[in-house]
Amino acid sequence: MQSITSSADLKTAIQQLELQQAKEWPLLKEEFLKTAESLKPINIIKNTLKEAVDLPDLKTGIINSAIGLTTGILAKKIILGKTLNPLSKLLGVALEMFVANKVSKNAGEIKSLGNSIMKKIFNREGKPEMNKHDGK
């Protein structure tokens, strides 16, 4: 910035600064409104959840936990059924938690085992095995 030596220079500098302020004020106001909107509690929660859901490890962990819990509940129902005995109920909850924990920790291995079993089942049913003597 040049040094101001006369009142005419001062008036010119003031006019330039007023023009600059007039141009920048709407931008500053718009940026302030955006910031205020982003700082609302509901938007902070929404953005945090969106970022969390976008993480692939979190999705996998949630899916594995859901599979584990479902498997644990099914195991309890299959083994114990409906029981009124408090000791059986306690054992059922322990069984449910044990199965859920094991399945959720080993979900990848269980999925690959299930996939290979399904491939074997469907390959046998879909395509009959050819006998070497048929010549076809």
pLDDT tens, 75-86? 888 888 887 888
pLDDT over threshold 60, residue 74: yes
**Residue 55 half-sphere exposure toward CB, CA atoms < 13 A:** 9
6-65 confidence digits (pLDDT tens): 999 899 999 999 999 999 999 999 999 999 998 888 888 888 878 776 777 777 777 888
Predicted pLDDT of residue 59: 72
Predicted pLDDT of residue 120: 85
CB of 72 within 8 A of CB of 100? yes
Predicted pLDDT of residue 19: 96
Crossing angle for the helix pair 86-105 and 56-80, to the nearest 10 degrees = 150
Predicted pLDDT of residue 97: 87
More confident residue, 55 or 136: 55
pLDDT class of 136 with cuts at 50, 70, 90: very low
- For residues 43-81, b (16+ Cβ closer than 10 Å) or e, as one string? eeeeeeeeeeeeeeeeeeeeebbebbbebbeebbeeebe
Domain ranges within the chain, ordered by starting residue: 10-54, 56-126
- Residue 113: Cβ within 10 Å count: 11
Average pLDDT over residues 89-106: 85
Lowest mean pLDDT among 7-16, 54-63, 88-97, 108-117: 54-63
